[in-house]
Amino acid sequence: MTKPITASAVGLKPHWKVRVVLPNALLHLASTTEPRIEKHIDPASGQLTRRVLADWISDHEYGDTFGFIDWPSATGITWRWSP
């Protein structure tokens, strides 16, 4: 396995690298804070919903720009610190 490229090695500020797996897509996002998964039960339907909360970085040099994500469709979410 190759060694991950650190943020400082390419002139970026330290941040969390976040991968969101969706059907037919893999998003590479970045956040200044460690992501956390929020669980919520919809009072009307009783269904459990989830979303990921973070301070998303919108600068394209860090990864994809965050827009809208249908969090219930996500099949995987990972993150790691990039110093």
Encode pLDDT of 44-54 as tens digits.
Answer: 888 888 889 99
Would residue 10 be called left, alpha or beta, if left means φ above 0 and alpha means ψ between -120 and 50 degrees? Answer: alpha
- Is residue 46 included in any domain, yes or no? yes
- Is residue 66 included in any domain, yes or no? yes
Distance separating alpha carbons of residues 62 and 21, to the nearest angstrom? 17
- pTM value surpassing 0.85: no
Contact (Cβ atoms closer than 8 angstroms) between residue 82 and residue 62: no
- Is residue 3 included in any domain, yes or no? no
Residue 1's SS3 state is coil
Average pLDDT rounded to a whole number, residues 51-59: 92
**What domain count does the chain have?**
1
- Is residue 2 included in any domain, yes or no? no
- Is residue 83 included in any domain, yes or no? no
Distance separating alpha carbons of residues 38 and 36, to the nearest angstrom? 6
| CA-based R_g, the chain, Å | 14
Domain residues for 54? Answer: 8-78
- Is residue 73 included in any domain, yes or no? yes
